[in-house]
Structure 1
Amino acid sequence: MKRATLFSSALTVFATAALSAISQVAWAGQAPGPASAPDIAISHHDRVYAAEQFSNTVSVTDPADNKLVGVIRLGDPSPGNFSPLYKGQVLVHGMGFSPDHRTIAVVSIGSNSVSFIDTQTNTVKHVTYVGRAPHEAFFTPDGNEVWVTVRGENYVSVLDGHTFEEKTRVITPAGPGMQISSPDGKYGYICSSFNPEVDVISVADHKLVGKVTQVSPFCPNIAATPDGKQVWFTLKDTGKTQVFDARSPFATLKVLDTGPITNHVNIVHNANGTFAYVTVGGLNQVKVFRTDDFSQVATIPVGKLPHGIWPSGDGSRVYVGLENADALTAIDTLTNKVIATVPIGQAPQAVTYVPNAVPEGDGTQNTQPLGLAGETTHLSMVPVGASPATDSAPTSVALFDQGLLQVLQASATGLQPKTPYVLGLSDNADGSGNIESLARFMTNPAGSAIVNAIGQIRQVVVPGTNTAGDKRRYLVIAPQVSGKPGAPVQVQAL
């Protein structure tokens, strides 16, 4: 009996240790939830959503097999959306989801709207119109409010989380970029796109309780760690990522140089620890940092202009929207390797992963095939005299088809900081000859810029698509000299 008792005790100890180990993994918690929340294993009930700015769609992807379910069309492509009788949404951009995982909130910048979509049926159940140029929207952890940063003005529109109607406003410096709540729901952290200040707001009474100085003005994205200890935010103008203490007095902990066109950041907890994943468009990489000592542990090549990023419900993957590649990339967070790439709509911006979004059925209702939303031409630009075969292309160009027209978007890097440039069409491949201006732009302090134009551009710059009799032209970037294009510094790769 004594041996049996010892054996039984040993089994009890082993079982207790095993359950403890399991519980540590199963109760890790992923952003935006708390560390105490259970991990949710990847399944066909989960969905990855991406807000696609130029096709005005939301793509719906099943992460269990990394296949596109379809797109939810919120608006029409250009020039149909120029009509005074147009009723759809324009520039579909930001995205958040409710704590019960049954609703996604999709922000459209051009139509000043937040569309609330049922995740089970993919139907729009309500549209709330807010102030000028909203950017992002997210529910508070209790689900009772939705905070919408109205970047074109100076406030956060606080909506009722059940009726979706505005109940109050939180006044901020001009241009609030994004907000996220602390996992316990105590604070709302609001970074700015126009002023170097993060405001910390008490969620209970909507009062200002703290401020954090941003090291530069333009913050597009912010994330809180599930343990409630840190807040990370990106600075797109200077290519930095800043970290501050999530608790009063909200002191800055670290400023990291992450690279030109630093876009979004999100937090992942897995067996190796807790990490911040940062998308860097100018380098076409995702950089991974530890949250304990801020050391960089990985650099992951992902494709052209990575933008939104979100972890799976168990932290085993992160999903990244590739803005200039019309794709969604899945990364294994234990190996930090790309494991899948899914074609989606045009110019994905925000990305969210919603565990158990579809409790039953296949969740394909009210989605459409990709269609025109998947039609894009991809080009690149290189320094004058460089060989595309041996030199990396610093500027990627996407021509998003809108029917007869295309929206051009160039992710320009490798230029002089804070300098005026022209994106134009040259008569000759080497940039010589007459240059016709398409867009003028100013680079940020990191020597980068996102440049947009619209027109029948593909028809003149892509071989084989020229209309009979039309002369072939070539994309160039040149500095502005006395208001006119100077000698080109980058030319279209052939």
Structure 2
Amino acid sequence: MKVRTSIAAALLAGSMLAPVTSFAGQVPGGASDPDIPISGKDRLYAAEQFSNTVSVSDPSTNKLLGVIKLGDPQPGNLSPLYKGQVLVHGMGFSPDHKTLAVVSIGSNSVTFIDTATNAVKHTTYVGRSPHEAFYTPDGKELWVTVRGEDYISVIDAGSFEEKTRIKVPSGPGMQIFSPDGKYGYICSSFNPETVVVSIADHQIVGHVKQESPFCPNIAASPDGKQVWFTLKDIGKAQVFNARPPFDLIKTVDTGPITNHVNLVNNNAGTFAYITVGGLNEIQVYRTDNFEKVATIPVGNLPHGIWPSGDGTRVYVGLENADAFAVIDTLTNKLIANIPVGQAPQAVAYVPNAVPEGDGTQNLMPLGKAGETAHLKLEMKGSKNQQTATVTLFDQGLTQVLQAAVTGLEPKKPYVLALSEHPDGSGELQGLSNFMTNPAGSAIVNAVGPIRQIVQAKHKDERRYLVVASSVDGKPTKVLQVQAD
């Protein structure tokens, strides 16, 4: 007994003196996979919703190389003869890192792109309003959440054809897989239920209760122990056991417009990084004790997030800033920004995407996709109390307006409107009616020549963005006004 105790003490002492070594394996791979140091062969992608582009960046230099044009902005994409993609949004990549799968919500499509050449290999059309797509760990199937319906479209990775459908609760939001290839985890955007599906036979084998119906994003840990998912409507993240009985482990309060989550292994441990759009920040949690260890301000409306192949960096798509925020995961500091296209949504980091050459074929300059204007709203009578970020995405003579609004009463009707005067007084003209979620926030959209109005040079022609309470769909009391 004494000998065993001495040996144990010696081993413990040795482990305490030994240098900390890097954890291997980054999502979506397993913990036994080797880390892949950042290099010029890697590529960083963003799916951009309003310019209908995919941006391609070199993470070794933090430089944008160009964009892959999948479609046109408005009004070109309104034509009945239009053949391009609309609302480029979701993204996944194959285990061999050779293919990028890009989901376009408005055109019900999955576009398969060769990562080495940026060329479109095939486009597959699926059901109404697909949201996200990801490959099974063996690379044989691509599962697509068809959020406008009630199934997963399973596409054969070789033929690009749909081979079967998996019936799930309506509104599947996203799916991700256990690294060992046993399970697919599918959260819902319309129902408070995540299901677990056996990859081998496509049968549901588990159910997890969501605290709310709106889950946009889900991630599985490389060690095969945890699954994290976000709840955008109530501002929370939940964690459950990745193995049977798939029981809930933890619920974390994050904040309004909680978007995506991803997991990172580095020298300091294993961490969950969560984008909180309403607070314009990233929250970082340990995965062992769920302690929040960092809050990182990053810019307007952080959305998608993905780590580098070695876990030393995390890349965040800033939806209302048209940029990547680059974060050092050992210091949790913002170290760079990379310009991208309009309203980046899903993000993917693909190590060794370009084994040879410069990987710039078939890329186009950012051009119009980089043209935006940015505004802020604040509580009326409360200077510097920011409540909304507003971006006007240039579409030619018109713009797509997107406002990330916070600080309102939950589940109440409001109107985004134009007022005659900066303080919100005078006549109000409604732009968009909206209902806040349970966290008192909302993403609000409108289309028109809005920039020309809110930035008009002549005082008599200028109008100001406001948020007002709503009675019978008409704006009444002004609550938030455009900041100077």
Which TM-score bucket, shorter chain as reference?
over 0.9
- How many positions carry a matched residue from both structures? 470
Answer whether contact 1:378 1:396 (CA < 8 A) is retained: yes
Instruction: Return the letter of the residue paired with 2:423.
Output: D
Q: Residue 91 in 1 paired to residue 120 in 2?
A: no
**How many angstroms apart in 2 are the aligned matches of 1:262 and 1:462?**
31
Partner of 1:458, secondary structure, is helix
**How many angstroms apart in 1 are the aligned matches of 2:302 and 2:215?**
16
- Corresponding position of 1:445: 438
**How many angstroms apart in 1 are the aligned matches of 2:131 and 2:181?**
21
- Corresponding position of 2:410: 417
Give the TM-score of the pair, scaled to structure 1: 0.94
CA drift of 1:483 comes to 2.8
CA drift of 1:209 comes to 0.2
- Corresponding position of 1:118: 114
Choose from 377, 390, 394 the match for 1:381: 377
Q: Equivalences for 1:55-94 in 2 at 5 Å?
A: 55-94=51-90
Q: Residue 472 in 1 paired to residue 462 in 2?
A: yes
Q: Residue 488 in 1 paired to residue 478 in 2?
A: yes
Partner of 1:372, secondary structure, is helix
**How many angstroms apart in 2 are the aligned matches of 1:161 and 1:35?**
25
Answer whether contact 1:159 1:167 (CA < 8 A) is retained: yes
Choose from 128, 138, 142 the match for 2:138: 142
CA drift of 1:21 comes to 6.8
Answer whether contact 2:306 2:316 (CA < 8 A) is retained: yes
Q: Residue 305 in 1 paired to residue 301 in 2?
A: yes
Q: Residue 163 in 1 paired to residue 159 in 2?
A: yes
CA drift of 1:163 comes to 1.2
Name structure 2 gaps, 5 residues minimum: 1-13
| Poorly superposed stretches of 4+, deviation over 6 Å | none
1:171-209 alpha-carbon deviations (Å, 9 max, x no partner): 011100000000111000000000000010000000010
CA drift of 1:373 comes to 0.1
**How many angstroms apart in 2 are the aligned matches of 1:483 and 1:114?**
37
CA drift of 1:392 comes to 3.5
- Corresponding position of 1:435: 428
Answer whether contact 2:433 2:473 (CA < 8 A) is retained: no
1:323-359 alpha-carbon deviations (Å, 9 max, x no partner): 0000001100000000100111000000000000000
**How many angstroms apart in 1 are the aligned matches of 2:316 and 2:129?**
24
Partner of 1:81, secondary structure, is helix
CA drift of 1:401 comes to 0.2
Choose from 184, 207, 210 the match for 2:206: 210
**How many angstroms apart in 2 are the aligned matches of 1:160 and 1:425?**
49
**How many angstroms apart in 1 are the aligned matches of 2:373 and 2:51?**
14
Instruction: Return the letter of the residue paired with 1:61.
Output: S
Partner of 1:75, secondary structure, is coil
**How many angstroms apart in 2 are the aligned matches of 1:159 and 1:126?**
12
- Corresponding position of 1:51: 47
- Corresponding position of 1:152: 148
**How many angstroms apart in 1 are the aligned matches of 2:377 and 2:209?**
36
1:282-311 alpha-carbon deviations (Å, 9 max, x no partner): 000000000000010000000000000000
CA drift of 1:463 comes to 4.2
**How many angstroms apart in 2 are the aligned matches of 1:235 and 1:344?**
26
Answer whether contact 1:460 1:470 (CA < 8 A) is retained: no
Instruction: Return the letter of the residue paired with 1:438.
Output: L
**How many angstroms apart in 2 are the aligned matches of 1:439 and 1:177?**
25
CA drift of 1:394 comes to 1.5
**How many angstroms apart in 1 are the aligned matches of 2:420 and 2:387?**
22
**How many angstroms apart in 1 are the aligned matches of 2:177 and 2:305?**
17
- Corresponding position of 1:327: 323
**How many angstroms apart in 2 are the aligned matches of 1:434 and 1:184?**
61
**How many angstroms apart in 2 are the aligned matches of 1:430 and 1:145?**
55
Choose from 401, 412, 417 the match for 1:408: 401
Answer whether contact 2:415 2:473 (CA < 8 A) is retained: no
**How many angstroms apart in 2 are the aligned matches of 1:290 and 1:28?**
17
Partner of 2:386, secondary structure, is coil
Partner of 1:487, secondary structure, is strand
Identity of aligned residues (%): 71
Q: Equivalences for 1:8-23 in 2 at 5 Å?
A: none
**How many angstroms apart in 1 are the aligned matches of 2:280 and 2:158?**
39
Answer whether contact 1:108 1:114 (CA < 8 A) is retained: yes
**How many angstroms apart in 1 are the aligned matches of 2:280 and 2:358?**
34
Q: Equivalences for 1:358-373 in 2 at 5 Å?
A: 358-373=354-369
Name structure 1 gaps, 5 residues minimum: 1-15
Q: Residue 290 in 1 paired to residue 286 in 2?
A: yes
Q: Equivalences for 1:266-285 in 2 at 5 Å?
A: 266-285=262-281
CA drift of 1:478 comes to 0.4
Choose from 234, 249, 252 the match for 2:248: 252
Choose from 336, 343, 346 the match for 1:340: 336
Q: Residue 179 in 1 paired to residue 175 in 2?
A: yes
1:392-430 alpha-carbon deviations (Å, 9 max, x no partner): 411000000000110000000011111100001111111
- Corresponding position of 1:10: none
Instruction: Return the letter of the residue paired with 2:431.
Output: L
**How many angstroms apart in 1 are the aligned matches of 2:44 and 2:319?**
16
**How many angstroms apart in 2 are the aligned matches of 1:470 and 1:433?**
13
CA drift of 1:274 comes to 0.2
- Corresponding position of 1:460: 453
Instruction: Return the letter of the residue paired with 1:210.
Output: G
**How many angstroms apart in 1 are the aligned matches of 2:456 and 2:47?**
31
Q: What do you get for the CA RMSD once the two structures are aligned?
A: 1.5
Partner of 2:77, secondary structure, is helix
